[in-house]
Amino acid sequence: MIFLSVTWGICCIGDVASFGRIGRRMIAKFILFTVLLTVLAGAAALPFFPLVTGSGQAFDPSELMDMVLDIVPSNFFTPFTEGNPLQIIFVAVLIGMALLLLGEKVSVAATFVEQSNYVVQLIMEAISSLVPVFVFGSVFKMFLGDGFRLLAQAYKIVPVIILGTAVVMVCSLVLVCLRWKVGPMTLLKKTMPTFLIGLTTASSVAAYPTNQDCCEKQLGIDDRITRFGIPLGQVIYMPGAAVLFLAAGLCMAEVYDVPITPAFLLTALFIGVMLAIAAPPVPGSALTCYTLLFAQLGVPMEAVAIMTALNVIFEFLATASDLFCLQLALTDLGGELEMLDTDTLRSGT
């Protein structure tokens, strides 16, 4: 799922010329904004958690560097056999770039990736329809055992996610308002239809037609940006999901008495951003990422059941904030590339 999502997201850029002028800058902006917004959200969440320093585990920069270096796999197969998400992303980027550069020479391979991605997303949507049953079973089991007490202990995740989501949305809104001299209420009015679809469906795919219409007709973004910026952004630009993963890692670490050290915090931030980039834009996709997240952070796998129950609520908010931030990021990029109709952007209709 992660491999196909990232590979096809790169292929959606279209051609090497577009990638050279727009694509590289767009990807860089998406990744930079995701990191910066997640860092700001993490800073806002820090007062909720005790940070272990001194006699606890000391911050060792080499640990994070080892994780970065470990992104490069020894071969193309071990990332899949070992389930290493960072290495899978690395391989997906390599293959996606190769397909993009070779173009028509590998049209069959590109078509195979595209259609495989559609099949996997359809399977994910089918599985997500069964999530309520699974959540009911998980919560019922918690009532019978000790798990419900742990669920109650994870109460901090509610204010942390709400606060973190508010931070990423407000920062994105303020940036566009200041740079392109547009009123905040005007932007909110134009982006609200897409936001509401994400809030009620938890699916970026379902919001795609409205998203494109709002970007081009309401925000004045050139269609040369939106034609691959929206599908690419819906795959790799998910600051709301990054906040969700970061909050899940911090809250579950506290519940299961895993020390939250500076090294742990940096690792949670790094893994959260990587998984947000890799997760496909369909309901329930975050569920498959929690196992990878907790495995990397040393949190017991029992935390997956708790997050499965909580994710049903929070994924709607994360998706809505992702779509909101994507529209504003594309607006900012369009202005930088002189591919933005500022009159349309500032108009009240």
pLDDT of residue 23: 74
pLDDT of residue 56: 46
| Every domain of the chain and the residues it spans | 32-63+129-346
Cα separation, 102 vs 211, in Å, equals 30
pLDDT of residue 127: 67
**Positions of the chain with pLDDT lower than 50, given as ranges:** 55-59
The CA R_g of the chain, rounded to the nearest whole Å, is 20
Helices 287-297 & 303-336 angle (0-180, nearest 10): 100
Show the tokens assigned to 108. 């069959």
Which neighbouring-strand residues pair with 221? 340
For 58-104, how does the pLDDT look when each residue is reduced to its tens digit (9 = 90+)?
Answer: 445 565 566 667 778 888 888 888 766 667 878 888 888 888 888 88
What predicted TM-score, i.e. pTM, was given to this entire model? 0.76
In angstroms, how far is CA 231 from the centroid of its own chain? 13
For 258-274, how does the pLDDT look when each residue is reduced to its tens digit (9 = 90+)?
Answer: 999 888 898 899 889 98
**Contact indicator for 319, 240 with CB cutoff of 8 Å:** yes
Phi, psi dihedrals of residue 347, rounded to the nearest 5°: -70, 155
pLDDT of residue 261: 87
Looking at domain 32-63+129-346, its CATH superfamily turns out to be Sodium:dicarboxylate symporter (1.10.3860.10)
**Contact indicator for 78, 87 with CB cutoff of 8 Å:** yes
